[in-house]
Chain A
Amino acid sequence: MRRALLLLALAAAAPARAQDPAIPSFAEETAPAGFTHAFTGEWEFMVGGGIAVFDCNGDTRPDIFAAGGTAPAALFVNDSAPAGPLAFTPTPSGLEETSVSGAYPLDIDGDGILDLALLRVGQDRLMRGLGDCRFEDASAAWGFDGLDLWSTAFAATWEQGASLPTLAIGTYIDRAQEAFPWGNCTPNHLYRPKTDGSGYDAPLPLTPGFCALSILFTDWDRQGTPDLRVSNDREYYKGGQEQLWHVEPGQPPRLFTEAEGWQRLRIWGMGIAQEDLNFDGFPEFFLTSMADNKLQTLAEIPPQGAPLPRYRDIALKSGVTAHRPYTGGDLRPSTAWHAQFGDVNNDGLPDLYVVKGNVWAMPDFAEDDPNNLLLQRPDGTFLESGDRSGVASMAQGRGGALVDLNADGLLDMIALNRNEPAQIWRNTTASPANWIALDLSLPGPNRNAIGAWIELRRPDGRIHSREVQVGGGHVGGILVPQHFGLGPATSAEIRILWPDGTAGDWQTLAANAVWRLEPGRAPVAVTAPN
């Protein structure tokens, strides 16, 4: 008996479902906001184009640093009024370097002012924040050897007892290999602080390097010590794969092996986004690539002990393959770069923003390749909303960010495009849904509690866990209060697992406010609940 024929209508739009989420609305405000910038360059800038978002002047409004490639990098100070239109002022800052591929904010010296790690095609720099959005090159003062490589990835963690963060910098291709660059990936490096805390030891090569485009310290197995996840571009490596490094205090880094459960995966790795999507306490990973983006969830979580680093790819069943343009008529496969989870409609379910763009006139891949805004449904699947939300940019995207830029509790959106103007959108969703943002703070080193876990108890009792991290994405990151959508809830029950392993108390905080949390101290509302 012949079964019914199965017709694969691969390009057909998915039908609406009863549980489809509310579609947010965004308004592009690039020109009126004064956000005039482009990441420019040819071969050495076909990757990169990262954005760093952080408050550099202490006014609680996130400012934007944008890499420029062959153009000078630029800092845009945020002048947006609360809940008002977006407004930025390009501001001299000491960061106007050329050959910058991306940047990540972090407080390296623990002085309460955020610093910036500048990744470059050439020597990287550690820029010390001086306050009022001014910076100076502190590489030499901190003993940081920026090397002369093509840097394309960054992550940081505070190893137990360290007064400075351990930095990991991923690199790409040996630029000297013009005719035969393939198989010529340069090593990544680990920068560990000297034991006396006076600066950094010489960089430790993480060999082999397989042309990393995103790296991330992650406590993926919840054992208390982050490991280093590396996503590599198979276009250039030989004998390579994705990597996971043990980085244990006082020990040389070492790769996870197949005997430890590591499974070989080879993709055009370009960006990593991490979020606990199924509220089981363990993060899922979205890995961007070219037409084969992955959404990884642990294959098995044992009742006791650590899970093995074995993942199932649930991108297809979750509807986040994002493998081809969903609008615009160019049906060639897609190229994905920056990825970030964030709840853009405040319904309590993390959504996914993916920045898209052809590498550089690659005929096998779409030229008109819209960015994705994938909204999570209650059943864990996602709905594409980029076109209906107004963010389906066809520019040659690279870096990006989802971040509340105007203190209205709604995540706004930035895209940095290659050889085209950058873009910024204000989230204008008229939504009754509530939100909360948490600004973690520690005394002494690691002022921003990198490595802490935030737990938020959902209405159904499940716990949404989020690790506070510096790294991932595509050559850029944000360091701002952690935003959660709450749906109709008017308060949130949360607790913090601090980086030293101590657990704070469960506490109930009012919605629609930014709260500063420190161990042993009462929460402080940075912005009043509205």
Chain B
Amino acid sequence: MNIFKDFSATLAVALCILAAPAQAQSQDQSQVQSQDQAQDQAQAGARDDRAQVLGSWYRMILELVRHTPTYSPPVASRAFAYTALIAYEATASGSDRLQSLTGQVAAVPMPPLREDGLAYDEDVILNTALAHAVDVYFSNTGPTGQRAKAALTKQLDALTAEGTDPDTLARSQAYGAALAEAIIAASADDGGAVVENLGFPMTYTLGGEPQDWVPTSLVQLQQAPLLPAWGQNRPFTLPDGEACPLPPPPAYSEDPGSEFYKQAMEVYDTSRSLTDEQKIIARFWSDDPMLSPTPPGHWVSIIFEIAERDALPVEDRVNALVRLGMAVSDGFIVNWRDKYRYDLLRPVTYIRRVIDPKWEPLLITPPFPEYPSGHSTQSGAVAQVLTATFGTPFPFTDSTHEADGLAPRDFPDFWTAAREAGISRLYGGIHFRAAIDLGLDQGACVGDHVNALKTWK
């Protein structure tokens, strides 16, 4: 199931409706509107296409993340967080169910005020705000991405403007733009706004100790590690930069009796006896930059698959997205802080040095320190947040990589999926167990901070 293709199909149907006679429009609208949308019609004075607008833009940004080289997982997490924040605030500004995060999250300034007694169109506000968000947070995309954004903007502008009087349209566009621009301005100094050289520093001094990270890639840019200062970025929900700390990893040792050696041997032995299922799991959660929507995008994809299956109201969608966005973004900040605090070497380095010089892991080893596992931290944070949002057990299907030929996987709850994401890194030969287990714990801690936010009125 490709739920985002469904958005396109729906968009195409809706655009056909716009061109069709009014009688046909009335009949067909019922086919493209979910139940929740109907609930909000009275508020907007027109049909509610917000779920469709949201889904279409998110389908676009999942592609842009995949196809724009800037978007390593930490950078992607920040872009997802701010985009979701703008979608959330745009929706909350006209909702009697959601409340603004102003005052709870530093990145959210006071929203612009709506003029009393004047009409606003919620579709237009959300669409305009998202278009601004995508323009800024996905600006580095290439000619195809720019062309695609322009095409989608045109389609969604036509869809949301239909039936809206010019004054309301202009007022709503201005409001959506102002709301987005306020958040965009507030995000400029969080430390992550400028990413140069795809995130790889031009010069870097390696630690030089046996336990320290060394390059594992034959790509020249990756002879320095990715985003060494990312852990100093301003988080959304954490009280300070020292939140959710982790203990050091097992002490480095080449002694066969040591815990470090034991954990390395676990990676090595596992790699030599991988089952087909373990290989599938490793590849399913590999989520490589430029070849997938990255780990945070993988979870965004899951959210939309659930939202479509359960026909979630748009408020529920943006609530889940904003929580997820802040969870992955803050997760990567603390995770990156500890990666560079402990600067641990990767399994491929240790195993070739100590155990088997010809060893090859299943997955491509990422170009940055090992401990803790980034996917584990961010997946743990998401699981903690989505469990609080949707409950547990909560069975769902994950079809994120169907277009890449990887079959959907079913999960009984979010933590089962997160734990599978974590252990996939051991199957793939790119993380030791400590990085996974403690990374998941760190993620839960981050998730608790996100869960403390109040979004429902």
Task: Give A residues with C-beta under 8 Å from B.
Answer: 2-11, 42-43, 46, 173, 178-183, 234-236, 238-239, 266, 290-292, 313, 315-316, 321, 323-324, 331-333, 359-365
Contacts and interface: CB of A to CB of B under 8 A. Distances in A.
Interface in B37-67: 59-60, 63, 66-67
Nearest to B403: A238
A182 B66 contact: yes
Contacts of A234: 290-291
B206 A331 contact: no
A323 B220 contact: yes
17 contacts: A3-B208, A4-B208, A7-B205, A10-B223, A46-B144, A173-B144, A179-B148, A180-B63, A182-B67, A236-B67, A236-B144, A238-B404, A291-B69, A333-B197, A359-B142, A362-B142, A363-B139
B152 interface: yes
B63 A46 contact: no
A313 B208 contact: no
A270 to B, nearest CB: 13
B198 A333 contact: yes
B194 to A, nearest CB: 11
Contacts of B196: 332
A477 to B, nearest CB: 26
Contact of B203 (A3, A4, A7, A332): A7
Contacts of A239: 403-406
Given A179-B151, A238-B403, A315-B218, A9 B203 contact: yes
A46 B155 CA distance: 24
B221 interface: yes
A327 B1 CA distance: 49
B140 interface: yes
A365 B68 CA distance: 11
A292 B205 contact: no
Contacts of A8: 203-206, 223-224
Contacts of B69: 290-291, 333, 364-365
Given A11-B203, A179-B155, A313-B218, A361 B143 contact: yes
Nearest to B210: A3
A208 to B, nearest CB: 9
B95 interface: no
Nearest to A361: B143
A290 B67 CA distance: 13
Listed from nearest, the 8 A-B pairs whose CB atoms lie closest are: A360-B143, A239-B405, A321-B220, A239-B404, A179-B151, A3-B208, A323-B220, A362-B142
Contacts of A360: 142-143
Contacts of B219: 291-292, 316, 321, 323
Contacts of A362: 140, 142-143
Contacts of B406: 239
B298 to A, nearest CB: 14
Contacts of B405: 238-239
Contact of B202 (A43, A182, A331, A359): A331
Nearest to B141: A362
A107 to B, nearest CB: 37
Nearest to A46: B143
A9 B70 CA distance: 22
Given A179-B155, A180-B60, A291-B220, 4 more contacts: A10-B204, A11-B203, A179-B8, A323-B219
B115 interface: no
B291 A364 contact: no
A316 B151 CA distance: 40
Contact of B8 (A7, A180, A183): A180
A178 B152 CA distance: 9
A266 B291 contact: yes
Interface in B184-208: 196-198, 202-206, 208
A179 B223 contact: no
A243 to B, nearest CB: 14
A46 B147 CA distance: 12
B165 interface: no
B205 A5 contact: yes
A323 B202 CA distance: 12
Contacts of A363: 139-140
A248 B226 CA distance: 45
Contacts of A365: 69
B147 A178 contact: yes
A341 B147 CA distance: 35
Contacts of A324: 220-221
B144 A291 contact: no
B63 A364 contact: no
A43 to B, nearest CB: 6
B205 A6 contact: yes
B116 interface: no
Nearest to B147: A43
A333 B221 contact: yes
Interface in B208-262: 208-209, 218-221, 223-224
Contacts of B144: 43, 46, 173, 181-182, 235-236
A184 to B, nearest CB: 10
B366 to A, nearest CB: 14
B275 to A, nearest CB: 17
Contacts of A323: 219-221
Contacts of B218: 313, 315-316
Nearest to B153: A179
Contacts of A313: 218
A117 to B, nearest CB: 26
Interface in B290-310: 290-291
A266 B223 CA distance: 19
A74 B208 CA distance: 57
Interface in B380-428: 403-406
A326 B335 CA distance: 34
A361 B68 CA distance: 13
Given A10-B224, A43-B143, A291-B219, A331 B290 contact: no
A328 B142 CA distance: 22
A247 to B, nearest CB: 24
Contacts of B70: 364
A305 B404 CA distance: 35
Contacts of B60: 179-180
A8 B205 CA distance: 6
Given A6-B208, A291-B221, A11 B202 contact: yes
A6 B212 CA distance: 12
Nearest to A179: B151
Nearest to B70: A364
B441 to A, nearest CB: 31
Interface string B1-41: 00000001000000000000000000000000000000000
B274 to A, nearest CB: 14
A292 B223 CA distance: 12
A182 B63 contact: yes
**Which has the most chain A C-beta neighbours within 10 Å: B60, B224, B403?**
B403
Given A8-B203, A8-B223, A178-B147, A2 B209 contact: yes
A318 B63 CA distance: 35
B148 to A, nearest CB: 5
Nearest to B290: A234
Contacts of A7: 203, 205
Contacts of B291: 234, 266
Nearest to A295: B218
Given A179-B152, A333-B197, A359 B203 contact: no
A42 B143 CA distance: 9
Contacts of B220: 10, 291-292, 315-316, 321, 323-324
A10 B203 contact: yes
B143 A235 contact: no
Interface string B130-149: 00000000011011100110
A9 B219 CA distance: 15
B72 to A, nearest CB: 11
B140 A364 contact: yes
Contacts of B148: 178-181
Nearest to B149: A179
A502 B34 CA distance: 72
